[in-house]
Amino acid sequence: MAAAYPAVEGAPAPPYAHEPLFHDGATLAGPGSTNGELPPPYPTSLPDKFPIGKQKAATLVSVSELESHLRLLGAFDLLQTTVRSANPADSDDAWVVYLARAVYRFERWILANPNDRSGSNTLPPLDVMMVWHSYCLVRTLLLCWLYYLLTISL
């Protein structure tokens, strides 16, 4: 089993970093890290301001937020690799079907009663989170989709 990522100072390590995500024992360390190698060290602090042209912009995210986001992207990549490797002959078709089902599950999750999600710490399943993340990257598309979805469900 692959080793967990090192913790960032002041940020607790996610409990799932070293735990298997899939029945074959794959973890968030991802493919290629089965020999226990850890990723290279990274900074544990950011400057207060970043130069952008002649201006200085404040830091918008913390190192722990960046680390969490990279772990999420790694989980998405591992999910895609797992789905595609399950059907090597039709890996593209398998991924398209998986995405279509994930979008359907996202629709059901977003329309569910908020009480069903029981609290702000409840996260959706990984495939649903991947669709949500994709929509958040293109906010105009998300708003159009939500408007459409909410108007047809009323």
Q: What residues make up the domain containing 23?
A: 11-35+46-86
Signed CA dihedral, 143, 149, 152, 154: sign only = negative
- Residue 70 shares a structural domain with residue 113: no
**Reported pTM:** 0.62
Tens digits of residue pLDDT in 89-142: 999 999 999 999 999 998 888 887 666 665 556 788 999 999 999 988 888 877
- Residue 15 shares a structural domain with residue 80: yes
DSSP state, residue 55: E
**Token duo for residue 38:** 């850890």
Nearest to 148 by CA among 114, 111, 123, 117: 111
- Residue 125 shares a structural domain with residue 153: yes
Tens digits of residue pLDDT in 12-28: 444 444 444 444 444 44
Does 41 fall in a domain? no
